[in-house]
């Protein structure tokens, strides 16, 4: 018999690859942080001798969720800025608060609160965009979470850097520091087209190409961001060579046919953040039309100041309902010339968007996002033995449309249990909450 660290037996397993598959009464063998095999439980018990056997008889096991857009430290502003108008919310509420309070301690404390939020709702990897990225990376490493840390790039001065040169220099040093870290990766993160000039974006493109780093940027979130200086944002990025598979465009709510054709030709991915878009009144991303163009979709929560939680399970349900209710691409023309409706997105499609698509967009598709041998054992286990998730006819649909975050029983990152039977194992939640309350008192002046 083969010795392994952990054998996890579950009532159902959704491996994501192959697409649409559901495995009954299977088990995942894990050793040294990686998946060894996924096979029927009976065969697993005959083949493996685990140091730890985990039995989850009413649960579904699947890859950990991948949140492709977050501002983790903004969890400290949850509910502090509430406005129905995007520009007022951002410029009159959020930016002044951040200008007053933002420092490395704020980012560390806010990030740990966000990580606790994400882990307990099944997320094992997140992409972050925030100043003081070194503080975010330190907290990710301390909590054993997985993250892709955005290296901020702006032309304007902030508390973290004075110029585009300093942003890039500091960011690339952080990239070098974590170059060989198994849990922390990096990506270039110019904030938005209006915040960076052509020369800075050209430097971003060169660095991304040379280092094979993903690039992420807010794009077409509101109507006012569609054009910069009379040029459409996506046309400008195309001109500068940034529309490539390395680009993860965030939001993409307001797009026309030419935008979608450019995005498709470039092979970019889009981080869809439906709850933030709705709450800030920015509209609905046309996901069915984007999908009809062959553009890869991922899911992000955005920050807790505009969401107001970081549960990707909730985000997935909202995204799926919106896509069904708002059909932006009613017909396509197949080879026979007769118009046909775009196929409806299935629950398995949404599960892939929330896992493997996200991993691919962050340059981690070979390492996480599905349950295949040799991938890291980033896993999420959900208990379906609840009144609102029984009976079970379609496991995937149950997760997308019925499950709540309280049903996440266990979460592993690289084979390490970070949530065990609903409880965080590497985070002192009482201490995290005490620090969050202190920040609330300071920020509100109470």
Residues 85 and 20 in one domain: no
Q: What distance in Å separates the CA atoms of residue 385 and residue 404, rounded to the nearest whole number?
A: 12
Q: What distance in Å separates the CA atoms of residue 214 and residue 208, rounded to the nearest whole number?
A: 7
Residues 400 and 267 in one domain: no
* pLDDT of 53 over the 90 cut: yes
Q: Is residue 435 part of a domain?
A: no
Q: Spell out where 99-198 has E strands.
A: 123-128, 146-153, 184-190
Q: Is residue 395 part of a domain?
A: yes
Q: Is residue 428 part of a domain?
A: no
Question: 310: buried, middle or exposed (CB in 10 Å: 19+, 13-18, 0-12)?
Answer: buried
Query: DSSP characters for 281-304?
Result: T-----HHHHHHTT-EEEE----T
Residues 94 and 196 in one domain: yes
Q: What is the DSSP letter of 376?
A: B
* pLDDT of 78 over the 70 cut: yes
Structure confidence by residue, pLDDT tens digits, 335-379? 665 555 667 899 999 999 999 999 999 999 999 999 999 999 999
Q: What distance in Å separates the CA atoms of residue 358 and residue 80, rounded to the nearest whole number?
A: 29
Q: What distance in Å separates the CA atoms of residue 16 and residue 301, rounded to the nearest whole number?
A: 21
Residue 242's contacts (CB-CB under 8 Å, 6 or more residues apart) are: 201, 204, 205, 208, 215
Q: Is residue 429 part of a domain?
A: no
Q: What is the DSSP letter of 175?
A: H
Residues 10 and 142 in one domain: no
Residues 9 and 127 in one domain: no
Residue 199's contacts (CB-CB under 8 Å, 6 or more residues apart) are: 164
Mean pLDDT score, 225-246: 95
Would you state the pLDDT for residue 83? 75
CA distances from 336 to 332, 333, 339 (A): 11, 8, 9
* pLDDT of 295 over the 70 cut: yes
Whichever domain contains 216, its CATH number is 3.20.20.140
Residue 338 and residue 296 in contact, taking contact as beta carbons nearer than 8 Å: no
Residue 64 and residue 17 in contact, taking contact as beta carbons nearer than 8 Å: no
* pLDDT of 289 over the 80 cut: yes
Residue 291 and residue 345 in contact, taking contact as beta carbons nearer than 8 Å: yes
Q: What is the DSSP letter of 90?
A: I
- Residue 36 parent element (H or E): strand 34-40
Mean pLDDT of the chain: 95
Residues 285 and 175 in one domain: yes
Up-side HSE of residue 429: CA atoms within 13 Å toward CB?
A: 12
Residues 190 and 43 in one domain: no
Q: What is the DSSP letter of 342?
A: P
Q: What distance in Å separates the CA atoms of residue 134 and residue 136, rounded to the nearest whole number?
A: 5
User: Cα dihedral angle (56, 58, 59, 60), rounded to 10 degrees?
Assistant: 120
pTM for this model (two decimals): 0.96
Q: Is residue 433 part of a domain?
A: no
Phi, psi at 53, each rounded to 5°: -105, 125
Query: Partners of 298 in the beta sheet?
Result: 271
Q: Is the dihedral of CA 386, 389, 395, 397 positive or negative?
A: negative
Would you state the pLDDT for residue 445? 85
Structure confidence by residue, pLDDT tens digits, 112-129? 999 999 999 999 999 999
Residue 297 and residue 266 in contact, taking contact as beta carbons nearer than 8 Å: no
Closest CA to 220 of 185, 243, 181, 254: 254
Q: What percent of the chain has pLDDT over 70?
A: 96
Would you state the pLDDT for residue 334? 57
Residues 181 and 300 in one domain: yes
Structure confidence by residue, pLDDT tens digits, 302-338? 999 999 999 999 999 999 999 998 865 555 555 665 5
Q: What is the DSSP letter of 209?
A: H
Q: Is residue 437 part of a domain?
A: no
Q: Which domain holds residue 28?
A: 2-63+376-414
Q: What distance in Å separates the CA atoms of residue 184 and residue 378, rounded to the nearest whole number?
A: 14
Whichever domain contains 33, its CATH number is 2.30.40.10
Q: Is residue 194 part of a domain?
A: yes
| Residue that the structure tokens 């981690």 belong to | 364
Q: What distance in Å separates the CA atoms of residue 182 and residue 431, rounded to the nearest whole number?
A: 27
Residues 50 and 71 in one domain: no
Residues 199 and 96 in one domain: yes
Q: Is residue 424 part of a domain?
A: no
What are the start-end ranges of the H helices in 145-271?
164-177, 198-211, 233-239, 257-266
Residue 377 and residue 33 in contact, taking contact as beta carbons nearer than 8 Å: yes
Q: What distance in Å separates the CA atoms of residue 239 and residue 361, rounded to the nearest whole number?
A: 22
Residues 117 and 236 in one domain: yes
Would you state the pLDDT for residue 326? 84
CA distances from 281 to 7, 81, 163, 259, 291 (A): 46, 14, 32, 21, 23
Residues 75 and 96 in one domain: yes
* pLDDT of 150 over the 70 cut: yes
Tally of structural domains, the chain: 2
Question: 240: buried, middle or exposed (CB in 10 Å: 19+, 13-18, 0-12)?
Answer: middle
């Amino acid at each position: 018999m083969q010795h392994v660290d952990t054998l996890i037996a579950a009532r159902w397993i959704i491996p994501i690859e192959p697409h649409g598959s559901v495995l009954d009464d299977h088990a995942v063998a894990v050793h040294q942080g990686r998946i060894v095999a996924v096979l029927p439980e009976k065969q697993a018990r005959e083949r493996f001798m685990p140091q730890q056997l985990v039995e989850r008889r009413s649960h579904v096991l699947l890859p950990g969720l991948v949140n492709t857009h977050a501002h983790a430290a903004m969890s400290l502003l949850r509910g502090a800025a509430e406005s129905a108008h995007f520009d007022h919310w951002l410029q009159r509420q959020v930016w002044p608060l951040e200008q007053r309070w933002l420092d490395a301690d704020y980012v560390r404390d806010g990030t740990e609160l966000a990580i606790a939020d994400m882990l307990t709702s099944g997320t094992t990897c997140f992409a972050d965009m925030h100043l003081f990225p070194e503080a975010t990376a330190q907290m990710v490493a301390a909590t054993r979470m997985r993250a892709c840390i955005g290296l901020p790039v702006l032309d304007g001065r902030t508390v973290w850097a004075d110029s585009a040169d300093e942003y890039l220099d500091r960011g690339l040093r952080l990239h070098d520091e974590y170059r060989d870290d198994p849990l922390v990766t990096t990506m270039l993160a110019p904030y938005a087209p209006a915040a960076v000039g052509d020369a800075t974006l050209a430097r971003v493109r060169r660095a991304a190409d040379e280092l094979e780093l993903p690039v992420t940027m807010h794009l077409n979130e509101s109507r006012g961001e569609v054009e910069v200086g009379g040029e459409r944002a996506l046309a400008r990025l195309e001109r500068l060579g940034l529309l490539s598979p390395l680009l993860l465009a965030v939001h993409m709510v307001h797009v026309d046919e030419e935008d979608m054709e450019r995005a498709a030709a470039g092979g970019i991915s889009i981080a869809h953040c439906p709850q933030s878009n709705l709450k800030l009144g920015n509209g609905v991303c046309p996901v069915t039309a984007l999908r009809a163009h062959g553009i890869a979709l991922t899911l992000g929560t955005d920050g807790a100041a505009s969401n107001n939680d970081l549960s990707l399970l909730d985000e997935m349900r909202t995204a799926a309902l919106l896509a069904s209710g708002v059909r932006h691409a009613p017909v396509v023309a197949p080879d026979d010339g007769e118009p046909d409706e775009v196929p409806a997105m299935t629950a398995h499609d949404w599960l892939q968007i929330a896992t493997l698509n996200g991993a691919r967009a962050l340059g981690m598709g070979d390492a996480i996002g599905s349950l295949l041998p040799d991938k890291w054992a980033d896993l999420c286990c959900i208990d379906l033995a609840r009144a609102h998730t029984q009976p079970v006819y379609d496991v995937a649909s149950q997760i997308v449309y019925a499950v709540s975050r309280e049903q996440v029983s266990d979460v592993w990152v690289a084979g390490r249990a970070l949530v065990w039977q609903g409880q965080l194992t590497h985070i002192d939640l009482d201490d995290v909450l005490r620090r969050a309350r202190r920040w609330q008192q300071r920020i509100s002046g109470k």
